[in-house]
Amino acid sequence: MRLENQNLNSNRLSTGGVMVTAAVVYFVTARLSLLLAIGNTNATSVWPPSGIALAVILLWGYRMGPAILLGAFFANVFALKGYGLAPAYYLTASFTTALGNMLECLIGAWCIRRFAETENPFNTLKELFVFIIFGSLLATMVSASIGAGSFCLATGQWPVASQMWITWWLGDAAGILIVFPIIMMLKNKIVQTIRGIQSIEAIIVFVILLISSGVIFGYNYQIEYVIIPPLLWIALRFGRFYSAAAVFLVSGIAVLFTISGAGPSADPAAQKSLLNLQTYIGVISVITLCLSVLTHNRRVAERDLKNYKEHLEEKIKERSAELVRANEQLVTYIQNQDRVKMALSESEKKYRDLVESANSVILRWKPDGSITFFNAYAQKFFGFTEPEIIGRNILGSIVPILESSGKDLSWLIEDIVSKPEVHAFNENENIRKNGEKVWISWTNKPIFDESGSITEILSVGNDITKRKKIEESLKRTLDDLAIAKERAESADRIKSAFLAAMSHELRTPLNSIIGFTGILLQSLTGPLNKEQEKQLGMVRGSARHLLDLINDILDISKIEAGQLQIISETFDLRKSIEKAVQIISPLSDKKNLSLHFKIEDNVSEMRGDQRRVEQILINLLSNAVKFTDKGEINLHCHFDNYSIILSVADTGIGIKPENLNIIFDAFRQVDTGIARAQEGTGLGLNITKKLLEMMGGSIHVESEFGKGSTFTVIFPIKEQ
């Protein structure tokens, strides 16, 4: 707040200071200007205070008006006092004159601001004319009118009024013309910088100006306008300020010489010399100022033009570069477009060739069924030419309404259009132009428009007539085969049933043969000689073998006829093992083979068919004894989490790897080179395997030829 006040104060102070200074300067200049008065009059050829006043108003504002008023008032008071007037008169006259001076500069300043729209009216001819006409010629009329009027009123010298008015007017105008430009240009720093050779030129021209002015005015040559060329020279070469200064200089010299009574403007009649001088000053100042402003304008225009040209060149360069870039882009774009077009037309051609040369039926049709495209292959295949088929409905032309099987196809077209996804692939009977029925496998693809509705359907079809025929004959064959199989199976069942019945019938007489030969051999019916004993032994052996064979065949037959029942009961496995070992021991003893068995503690009861489990065990143990000549047989049994594992290992003849697979087949005995066929039926392992499979178990063999074999059976543990 205080700071603002301080600023305000300092502003006021400085405004006040400027006002006081302006008033003092006006006063002093006015007093000095009176020294320029011609003879002992108060009339001066130029009135520089007017120029100063106008400059003060334009530079510091209208508020400087009172300062001018004050300065002028005191200057006038001093001047009028000498006329011997009463104070009231000369004070009033001084005040009104000062008022005129103030109004003159206020009006001039206002006009310049208003019409030239600047405070420094030396940039264009328009501004300059506004300054000359309004600021210098018109505004000064106000001051002249008020000043001359009040002077005449105060002094009563009305006869000189008109002359006085003109002198006053032109004096003020000349004062403004020569002083105001210098002040304004200095203040606005429009002083051209002069350097080097140009400063020598300037000195020369100013010297010429001074000398010629001195000569013209000092020696009273009537050639005062000779001064114009050097002034023009200055205006053309050194700019506005030096022009204004030159005018000021020449005017000063002219005034000085004229008031001292010399020079061409001097005239015995003071009034005339004033007028001459004022006209002279007016002309040279107006001409010089005009020319300097014109020159300035031309320079500015040249500079602008140069800048513009440079700018234009830059712009042209930029634009050219942009154009080149755009052109390059355009070329690239066009090339790309060409490439794209070429690629497109190539791919179109490829596509067309592909479609035309494809060994498939390719057609397009509208949702109403009408055909829009029919490729060459389709035409050849169906026997229709393009004009014959395009526009026709699929149904009734290439799709029969009824298939040979009687299947109705009339719904097919509608169904494909409404549910294209269901009919992406379909096979149906088709018809050629000649009525021949063909089968085609179709791929249907709907083509949608932008709104998502189907515009057409593309169907690609392959002839599957041959395949269909093969399929049909294959189906027929399969049907025949199924019937044949059924027949064979039933024959097999009859055979198995017959075998089962037959085996049963055979066992009864065989058992009596074995029984009665046993009685004979035990000599219960009387003593037998050695030969009889031998013969009867052979009978009993053959009968036993036959019984074994029949038993095995019976089992096989029952299994294959599906008549063998596996019962599920809980029994003590340990006891079964011991029982089997007991049965086989006499055989192993006979061959001097040691038979060991190890039953782990966790082995206890199992669920299954006890008789069949024992049959399997006996079979494995008897094989082991049968195919082992020396060494030992080891039976091992243990339970694990899910199964019962039982193995029989021997140190017998072993099995060659290539025979491992065949030993489980029925009637397969490995040829060991020894006549063993008598000792077995070749059915034991086959029956064992089948029984195990029926129980959900399995059998595996590991063997090393010449060293021994290990047969392992696995029974699943069944929950009770």
Q: Considering only residues 48, 239, 684, 697, which one is a binding residue for ligand ADP as defined by CB under 6 A?
A: 684
Number of residues that bind ligand ADP (CB under 6 A): 18
- For strands 632-639 and 594-599, give the pairing: parallel
Q: 294 near 186, Cβ under 8 Å?
A: no
Candidate residues 33, 213, 588, 669; the one interacting with ligand ADP per rule CB under 6 A: 669
Binding piece for ligand ADP, criterion CB under 6 A, among 72-80, 236-244, 501-509, 649-657 = 649-657
Minimum separation from the CB atom of position 533 to ligand ADP (A): 27
Q: How far, in Å, CA of 179 to CA of 175, rounded?
A: 6
430 vs 686, which CB is nearer to ligand ADP?
Answer: 686
Mark the segment that binds ligand ADP (CB under 6 A) among 137-145, 258-266, 571-579, 648-656. 648-656
By beta-carbon proximity to ligand ADP, the closer residue of 430 and 615 is 615
DSSP string, 223-268: -GGGGHHHHHHHHHHHHHHHHHHHHHHHHHHHHHHHHTT-STT--S
Residue 417 vs 649, nearer CB to ligand ADP: 649
CB of 514 to ligand ADP, least distance (A): 19
Q: Would you state the structure tokens that stand for residue 413, as one six-digit string?
A: 């077209």
- Rank residues 607 and 668 by Cβ distance to ligand ADP and give the closer one: 668
Q: Are 182 and 48 in contact (CB under 8 A)?
A: no
Q: CB nearest ligand ADP: which residue?
A: 680
In whole angstroms, how close is the CB of 550 to ligand ADP at the nearest point?
13
Q: 433 vs 668, which CB is nearer to ligand ADP? A: 668
Parallel/antiparallel/unpaired status of strands 361-365 and 632-639: unpaired
**Closer Cβ to ligand ADP, 276 or 623, answer by number:** 623
Residue with Cβ nearer ligand ADP (467 or 626): 626
Contact pick of 152, 685, 691, 699 for ligand ADP (by CB under 6 A): 685
Stretch 329-368 residues interacting with ligand ADP (CB under 6 A): none
Q: Which stretch binds ligand ADP (CB under 6 A): 92-100, 137-145, 298-306, 645-653?
A: 645-653
Q: Judged by CB under 6 A, does residue 699 bind ligand ADP?
A: no
Question: Left (φ > 0), alpha (ψ -120 to 50) or beta: where does 263 sit?
Answer: left
Q: How far is the CB of 633 from ligand ADP (least distance, A)?
A: 9
Q: Which is nearer to ligand ADP, 256 or 666 (CB)?
A: 666
Amino acid present at 489: E
Closer to ligand ADP by Cβ: residue 24 or 714: 714
Q: Is 713 one of the binding residues for ligand ADP (CB under 6 A)?
A: no
Min dist CB 689 to ligand ADP, Å, is 9
Select 400 or 652, whichever has its Cβ closest to ligand ADP.
652
Taking the C-alpha atoms of residue 68 and residue 52, their distance in angstroms, rounded to an integer, is 9
- Which residue's CB is nearer to ligand ADP, number 465 or number 710? 710
- By three-state DSSP, how is residue 84 classified? coil
**String of DSSP letters for 3-51:** HHHHHHHHHHHHHHHHHHHHHHHHHHHHHHHHTTSSTTSS--S--HHHH
Nearest residue to 566 via CA among 605, 620, 607, 608:
608
- Our finding on whether 670 is near ligand ADP (CB under 6 A) is yes
Dist CA 409 CA 431 (whole Å): 12
633 touches ligand ADP (CB under 6 A): no
Identify which of residues 121 and 652 has a Cβ nearer to ligand ADP in the complex. Answer: 652
Cβ contacts of 410-415, under 8 Å, gap ≥ 24: 413/369
**Which residues 278-337 are close enough to bind ligand ADP by CB under 6 A?**
none
Closest approach of ligand ADP to the CB of residue 577, in Å: 17
Decide whether 40 or 678 has the Cβ nearer to ligand ADP.
Answer: 678
One-letter identity of residue 75 = A
What φ, ψ does residue 117 adopt, rounded to 5°?
Answer: 55, 35
For the bound state, the minimum distance from the C-beta of residue 627 to ligand ADP, rounded and expressed in Å, comes to 3
CB 655 within 8 A of CB 670: yes
Question: Looking at 60-68, 88-96, 574-582, 662-670, which segment touches ligand ADP (CB under 6 A)?
Answer: 662-670
Cα–Cα nearest to 425, from 416, 434, 417: 416
Task: State which H helix or E strand residue 462 sits in.
Answer: strand 454-463
Residue span binding ligand ADP (CB under 6 A) among the ranges 151-159, 357-365, 567-575, 678-686: 678-686
Separation CA 682–CA 169 (nearest Å): 162
Q: Indicate whether 653 belongs to the interface with ligand ADP (CB under 6 A).
A: yes
Q: Is 362 helix (H, G, I), strand (E, B) or coil?
A: strand
Footprint (CB under 6 A) of ligand ADP, residues 612-631: 623-624, 627
Minimal distance, residue 552 CB to ligand ADP, in Å:
8
Interface with ligand ADP includes 682 (CB under 6 A)? yes
Least Å distance between CB 662 and ligand ADP?
8
Q: At what angle do helices 48-60 and 139-155 cross, to 10 degrees?
A: 130
| Vertex 31: Cα angle to 27 and 36 (nearest 5) | 140
First to last CA, the chain: 112
User: Is the Cβ–Cβ distance between 480 and 548 less than 8 Å?
Assistant: no
- Among 500, 652, 692, 713, contact with ligand ADP (rule: CB under 6 A): 652
Q: In 294-328, which positions are buried (b, 16+ CB within 10 angstroms) versus exposed (e)?
A: ebbeeeeeeeeeeeeeeeeeeeeeeeeeeeeeeee
Segment 560 to 579, residues that bind ligand ADP, using CB under 6 A: none
* Interface pick for ligand ADP out of 655, 692, 695, 713 (rule CB under 6 A): 655
CB nearer to ligand ADP: pick between 258 and 686: 686
> Which of left, alpha, beta for 649 (phi over 0: left; psi -120 to 50: alpha)?
beta
Which CB, 462 or 710, lies closer to ligand ADP?
A: 710
Q: Is 166 in the site for ligand ADP (CB under 6 A)?
A: no
Question: Beta-strand (E) ranges in 590-689?
Answer: 594-599, 605-608, 632-639, 643-650
Beta-strand (E) ranges in 314-360?
none
Residues that bind ligand ADP (CB under 6 A): 623-624, 627, 650, 652-653, 655, 663, 669-670, 680-686, 709
